[in-house]
Amino acid sequence: MIELKIQSHARDELISISHLIEETAGVRKWRNGVVTIFVPHTTAGVTIQENADPDVLRDVLHALNRMVEWNDPAYQHMEGNSAAHVKASLMGSSVQCLVEDGRLCLGTWQGVFFAEFDGPRSRKIWVSWAG
């Protein structure tokens, strides 16, 4: 397992990490196989989403914020970040992606994104390889 570090800059943010995963694959000489990307945090996640139009990322965050209000008076979690926990649960904590010739096998418009819901923070991403 490889541990990568990432810094978020906003409470809610989708950060492209495809290049970090491919750099890791290159350094480790991972050629053909499957990479697992796991986020070991309860208020952050990971997803594969469109990487061409930044409006899509804004729309995803907007929809999540409409579905899961930050200051819902019904929340009981004492830290005050229940919305971040719910959003992270909806997003998921891991994705897998095929790798061929050291490159992620993604669709034309796809990218891998770290999903921050309780930032800004310094975070970890764990990457594992099966080849």
CATH number of the domain at 2-130, please?
2.60.120.460
Report percent pLDDT > 70 for the chain.
100
Between 41 and 71, residue with greater pLDDT? 41
61 CB neighbour count, 10 Å cutoff: 19
- 57 closest CA partner among 6, 101, 112, 20: 112
Contacts for 112 with CB less than 8 Å, ≥ 6 apart = 16, 17, 18, 21, 37, 46, 47, 48, 95, 97, 104, 106
Q: What's the pLDDT score for residue 66?
A: 96
Q: What's the pLDDT score for residue 72?
A: 86
At residue 13, does pLDDT exceed 90? yes
**C-alpha distances in Å from residue 128, one per residue of 5, 7, 62, 106, 131:** 15, 20, 31, 17, 10
